Amino acid sequence: MGPSPDSVPPSSGAGRSRALQDLIALLDLEPLGDGLFRGLSPKDRWQRVFGGQVLGQALIAAARTVEGRGCHSLHAYFLNPGDPRMPILYRVENSRDGGSFSARRVTASQDKRTIFTMSASFQKAEQGPEHQTEMPDVPDPGALKTETEWRSEFAEKLPLEIRDWLEHDRPVEVRPVLPANRFAPGKHPPLQILWLRAAGSLPGIPALHQCVLAYASDMTLLDTALMPHGYTLFTPHLQLASLDHAMWFHRPFRADEWLLYVQESPVAADARGFNRGTIYARGGALVASVVQEGLIRGRS
């Protein structure tokens, strides 16, 4: 996997947003020995830990126990809400080391309560037949409004607490293609397309780029299942939570270069919304795929 994030020199943060530097620090887990790592959460989080953060930290923990192989898939379950005030302990179990593949199981816990589990598979680089679906024909990110510009267009129409959240500095920059404003009232087709990239340069560590993309993949995916119903993340009396998250990495990529994230929700039923996404490099290569199911339940 190459050097781990703890080998990144402190001076390498030039050109990064403060939020991205904070994210890299969150992914720099403290090794406790015997496959055990400790991670922290941002001090300004809401009542529970963001699922993308746990995904990224769990993946970096697993990657630190594998040499010479990159992650090609992960399958995770969110079992209990995480408390951002408490450290998270990640225990990595070595399930298998074969000739080409290595498998790891990660369990995340707080105060002896399991909050998350993940299985991840790693593979040495190999050659084989290739094909892919084509990237949609969309405007280039340079032709779209910046995140600051599209936020400013509707931020004043939102409640203060939502506006504060929206205007907060983030480690990943987003430029929506469709729809331009997922917070607009009304019902919309269950389709989101957006460009995203880390808010600054990242070290050339493939595992770190995968972890940043895993983090970003959870930022908007559940929203897609809300759009046909006129809901948003801030709809009152609505209980939302990621239940599981699976991801496949098909090709190498850089998370600090523009990636196109195409998200759709083919079905919602039984208080669960099913979502899937495909992620393309700017040149058209399909680099990752994502599937997630989330809880969508009205609070009584």
Q: Is residue 292 flagged as an active site residue?
A: yes
Residue 156 three-state SS: helix
Residues 6+ apart with CB under 8 A from 116: 54, 58, 76, 77, 78, 79, 80, 82, 106, 107, 108
Kindly report the three-state secondary structure assignment for every residue of 230-290: CCCCCCCCEEEEEEEEEEEECCCCCCCCCEEEEEEEEEEECCEEEEEEEEEECCCCEEEEE
CA-to-CA separations, 205 to 5, 104, 171, 259, in angstroms, rounded: 8, 20, 17, 17
- The C-alpha atoms of residue 294 and residue 276 are separated, in whole angstroms, by 11
First to last CA, the chain: 48
The CA angle 278-21-242, to the nearest 5 degrees, is 40
How many beta carbons lie within 10 A of that of residue 32, not counting itself? Answer: 12
Which residue is catalytic, options 53, 102, 242, 263? 242
Residue 131, both tokens: 């094909």
Q: Is residue 57 flagged as an active site residue?
A: no
- The C-alpha atoms of residue 211 and residue 26 are separated, in whole angstroms, by 11
Which residue is catalytic, options 57, 121, 218, 256? 218
Residue 48 three-state SS: coil
Q: What amino acid occupies position 194?
A: L
Largest pairwise CA distance in the chain: 57
Please name every residue paired with 100 in a beta bridge, in sequence order, or none if there are none: none
Q: Is residue 97 flagged as an active site residue?
A: no
Which residue is catalytic, options 41, 110, 121, 292? 292
Active site amino acids = 218, 242, 292
